[in-house]
A and B are shown apart, each in its own frame.
Chain A
Amino acid sequence: MLLSKNSALESKDNEIFEVEESIAIQSELIKTMTTMVNSKAYVNERNQMVPEARCRKQANYHVEQNNKIVDEELSDWESKFFEVDMDDLHELFMAANYLEIESLLNGVTKRVGDFIKACKNVEVIRQTFGINNDFAAQQEEEIRKLNSWNHI
């Protein structure tokens, strides 16, 4: 097996992850970093500041994903990977967005989308995603009346 170049990524809490470069490059952010900074000069770059938990998840995600070649296996693995509680899902979501990893982002948005679709209550959405209700009571009531076809 060919030993590929590894890049070292340092997270915000100073933990260092060794990730195979081909996997690290799936993140648009890291890819940009490596093109901006001459990678020949900095073989083991420390060029990343990301909250630790997310970084680890990314590394795991990529390693696993690249090991699974068969489509069916991948989709099974993916559905298990994304079956986490909402807090973890948030972390993944933020990380995927920050690191700009498209495949991870697609997986997370699908899960989040399914969750929102199944939600019947506005309050649950607010609590889950930490959104403030900045409506005056009357305004909210007005909009709700206009959309009365919507409420089961």
Chain B
Amino acid sequence: MLFNVNHAILRFMADFEGNNRETLEDDFCLLEDSDLEGDVDERFYELPILSPKAKAKTPVDYNKALKYVDRKEAGLEDVLRDHALHLLPAKTLFRFKTVSRRWDQWISSPLFAHRQTTYFKNVSGLFCQVADHSPSFISFNQDAYGMPDPSLSFLPEPVKVRSSCNGLVCCQGIEEDTYYICSPVTKEWKKLPRPNLYHGAKAGVVLAFEPYLLNFNESYELVCAVTFSDYPVVYFEIYSSRSSSWRVSDTICYELDGSGLHDGGYYMKGVVHWESSSGVILAFGLRDEQYGFLPLPANDEGYGNGALAMKHGELCYIQPRYQDNVCTINIHGNMDMSLKSVINLPYDAGSTFGVCRALGFINGDILILGLGTRVISYRVKEQKVELISQHEGGACTRYIPYVNSLVSVRHPLIRDRGLIV
């Protein structure tokens, strides 16, 4: 366990501090080792722990160098486990727990769950909910992405899915107006304490969760833009998992009539965004708790059919447009949300299927669109359309993108194995 963590530290520093990489390696070398907790028959490398800056000048040093090279080679299985498994989605991983006892142990371990949560960030599907009906899950790949109970019936009351981030899902009780944070894969959930302000159904709720490799105590924040019907004011109330408490931010937005905030905000790189029907995007930075506005591209159809997304690490806005019954997708970006590119859909989407809604844009290449009751994906580079779902959805459906990670809601080092099914 110790070696694994040391190795993880080295890799982490190498990954996240690119310019320091050379210094690290000039100073010393620590080899990767495949130490697996609890496993007796584990192979391991023979590690000559090298002294700093060993520049060989004598034959003795040269032999030391040879020993470093001459270490035992890892088996394929170990290499697979160290490099490939944490890049896979939860459903795939659960399926292959039955490969062998070691796989079962490794996949069930909190250390692995944390690693997978940190590395696997692909949007795996959409939670889909109409009004107050049970939620369902539209998977982008039935074999690989999924969960035991997409209707979230393991929660104590019927809920409305509000937001999701890197595998954690935030729901709001329909009756009681309480918030729950859950992990659909592990079926763990946590009921949040009552907030200070009354949120109701109209508050803009966004979950912000960034897993870091060395931070075993996954921490997240639930950011709510709270409004009151008679006053053109937006308060920001934030729940922090670190303090397990709510706090109303000192920053108050007086410039916006909050009642126009769309359901479903977007979180990216420390900033929470909400679209407003006043024609702006309200952005709230979590570090300094300051807000700002970005222009929202004009839309002839009224509001509601565009979506915020990330392209090449930058915020962009996807806006379907109609002209002569042909639907094209406009991509807006930069601080002024100006038009950056236009994507032509290969067939006549608009008139045939009703309203075209943008639901997401994955890896800057795959557009997820709602066309009437259908959900399709369109790969821009290959120009390939794929039907994802036929029955769910419509103009009033809420769609929330979800990542199929193994994230735990509880403290990852204190795990009640009974809950992991």
Contacts and interface: CB of A to CB of B under 8 A. Distances in A.
A33 B87 CA distance: 30
Interface stretch (B72-80, B128-136, B156-164, B383-391): B72-80
B94 A147 contact: yes
Contacts of B54: 36
Contacts of B87: 109-110, 113
B98 A135 contact: yes
A143 B98 CA distance: 7
Contacts of B104: 135, 143
A38 B57 contact: yes
A119 B88 CA distance: 12
A94 B95 contact: no
Contacts of A132: 100
B96 interface: yes
Interface string A111-125: 011001111101001
A63 B79 CA distance: 25
Nearest to A28: B25
A117 B144 CA distance: 6
A132 B41 CA distance: 13
Interface string B47-73: 000100011110001101110111001
Interface string A21-62: 000000011011101111001000001110000000000000
B147 interface: yes
A113 B84 contact: yes
A41 B56 CA distance: 10
Nearest to B62: A37
B414 interface: no
Contact of B143 (A97, A120, A139): A120
Given A32-B29, A116-B88, A135 B100 contact: yes
A126 B96 CA distance: 10
Given A94-B76, A97-B79, A116 B84 contact: yes
A100 B45 CA distance: 14
A138 to B, nearest CB: 12
Nearest to A120: B143
Nearest to B80: A129
Interface residues of B, number: 51
Given A125-B96, A135-B98, A149-B146, A41 B74 contact: no
Nearest to A98: B73
A140 to B, nearest CB: 5
Given A117-B141, A126-B100, A133-B100, A38 B56 contact: yes
Contacts of A110: 87
B148 interface: yes
A109 B83 contact: yes
Given A47-B66, A117-B144, A126 B99 contact: yes
Contacts of B147: 149
Contacts of A33: 65, 68-69
Contacts of B79: 93-94, 97
B142 interface: yes
B99 A36 contact: no
Contacts of A113: 84, 87-88
B146 A97 contact: no
B144 to A, nearest CB: 4
Interface of A: 28-29, 31-33, 35-38, 41, 47-49, 90, 93-94, 97-98, 100, 105, 109-110, 112-113, 116-120, 122, 125-126, 129-135, 139-140, 143-144, 146-147, 149-152
Given A36-B65, A38-B56, A49-B69, 16 more contacts: A28-B25, A32-B68, A33-B65, A33-B68, A33-B69, A93-B79, A109-B87, A110-B87, A117-B89, A117-B92, A118-B144, A126-B99, A129-B80, A131-B77, A143-B104, A147-B95
